[in-house]
Amino acid sequence: MSATAKPSRDVAAEITNLIIKKLEEGVPPWSRPWRVQGSGGRPLRHCGTPYTGINTFYLWAIGDAQGYRSRYWMTYRQAEALGGHVRRGEVGSLSVYYSSFKKTEANPVTGAEKERSIRFLRHYIVFNADQIDGLPAHYYPAIEDPAPIDPSQHQAAIDAFFEVIPAEVRHGGDQAFFTPTLDYIQMPHQRTFRTMDHYASVRAHETTHWTGGTKRLARTFGKRFGDKAYSFEELVAEIGSGLVCAHLGLPNELHDSHASYVGHWLGILRGDKTAIIHAASKAEQAFNYMIAFGADPAAASPSEASAEGDELLAEAA
């Protein structure tokens, strides 16, 4: 008698369900963890390379839920190779990536053969360094003083990051938004923000919107998200802001003007288990576009326009 086949693991659904849970708790995983984890910043592989895309936010969410303080994640074998061992009873977390294979299909009418690439999601299991004993000392963060950091310590990094990005920014009024039609960012005056960290967080959100302009990344979502495209763009911008804040070492909070989108985000995520993976990918693309100006302005050239469909709604705020 043949053994019953083990059902395949729905990785996208697992990731989406955790993100939904964190949103329902009021803790978007792209905004909170680097303020509560011991060493802050993006999750790192065993070799020190930062995770990207959905892995960043999923591992942030796991680390936040479990109280892990280390940024480092690794497989069981990688831990052993470093002289460590995963403690008995510890449960690993998912790390995902896309793979692909080629498939040749014949046209049923003409018989002509055509090769197409099929992408699929793969995963492996990783453990946080806090679940592992015996690793070199740098994998474990030191106990830190919980006193808040003086925002002025970040000002040079904030200025350096935004000064090289050629977005037009206008100051005045009491609203923050990006207008695609006139292609500029509107921000309230800096003095109206509680701290320059908060100003930088909001500016990062609006600059992420700016990256999606037709002259740059031409970010569209079209029929796949229909009338939810506006909310989806807001999700991309909020995640993009989170990446910038992590990059600059800033706190990032869901400011009041965008709190109303949480319900829309939950609706999108519940309706499409791959939506958060798609949003994280778009936010990562926007973040890389922004930081490229700091390395080499010529490197931040627009990518090919997305073929996903219609333009976003007229104005993203």
The more confidently predicted of residues 9 and 70 is 70
Whether 170 and 314 map to the same domain: the answer is yes
| Residues 211-243: tens digit of each pLDDT | 999 999 999 865 454 557 777 888 899 899 989
The pLDDT assigned to 144 comes to 60
pLDDT of residue 297 exceeding 90, the answer is no
Whether 74 and 199 map to the same domain: the answer is no
User: Does residue 255 lie in a domain region?
Assistant: yes
Please name which of 231, 241, 313 lies closest in space to residue 270, comparing C-alpha atoms: 231
Please name which of 19, 58, 54 lies closest in space to residue 277, comparing C-alpha atoms: 54
Whether 130 and 152 map to the same domain: the answer is no
Whether 170 and 220 map to the same domain: the answer is yes
Say how many domains are in the chain.
Answer: 2
User: Does residue 212 lie in a domain region?
Assistant: yes
Whether 190 and 272 map to the same domain: the answer is yes
Whether 247 and 125 map to the same domain: the answer is no
User: Does residue 109 lie in a domain region?
Assistant: no
Range of lowest pLDDT (107-121, 234-248, 250-264): 250-264
> Which range has the top average pLDDT, 1-15, 26-40, 178-192?
178-192
Whether 208 and 122 map to the same domain: the answer is no
Whether 18 and 69 map to the same domain: the answer is yes
User: Does residue 14 lie in a domain region?
Assistant: yes
The pLDDT assigned to 120 comes to 65
The pLDDT assigned to 116 comes to 77
> Which domain does 35 fall in, by range?
1-103+114-146
The pLDDT-based confidence of 251 (bands split at 50, 70, 90) is: low
| Residues 150-186: tens digit of each pLDDT | 555 788 999 999 999 999 999 988 788 899 889 999 9
The pLDDT assigned to 100 comes to 65
Q: What is the mean pLDDT of residues 252-269?
A: 63
Task: Take residue 220 and report the two structure tokens written for it.
Answer: 């569209």
User: Does residue 30 lie in a domain region?
Assistant: yes
The pLDDT assigned to 253 comes to 56
Whether 152 and 123 map to the same domain: the answer is no
Q: What is the mean pLDDT of residues 295-301?
A: 56
The pLDDT-based confidence of 309 (bands split at 50, 70, 90) is: very low
pLDDT of residue 299 exceeding 60, the answer is no
The pLDDT assigned to 184 comes to 95
DSSP string, 104-148: EEE-TTT--EEEEEEEEEEEEEEEEGGGEES--GGGSPPP---SP
Whether 63 and 99 map to the same domain: the answer is yes
Please name which of 210, 197, 199 lies closest in space to residue 187, comparing C-alpha atoms: 199
**% of the chain residues with pLDDT over 70:** 76
The more confidently predicted of residues 124 and 296 is 124
| Residues 65-101: tens digit of each pLDDT | 788 889 999 999 999 999 999 999 999 998 887 666 6
Measured in degrees and rounded to the nearest 5, phi and psi for residue 81 equal -65, -25
Whether 171 and 37 map to the same domain: the answer is no
| Residues 264-285: tens digit of each pLDDT | 778 888 888 888 888 899 999 9
Whether 259 and 157 map to the same domain: the answer is yes
User: Does residue 209 lie in a domain region?
Assistant: yes
Judge if pTM exceeds 0.75: no
* CA–CA separation, 61 and 43 (whole Å): 11
The more confidently predicted of residues 42 and 313 is 42
* CA–CA separation, 45 and 71 (whole Å): 8
User: Does residue 225 lie in a domain region?
Assistant: yes
User: Does residue 108 lie in a domain region?
Assistant: no
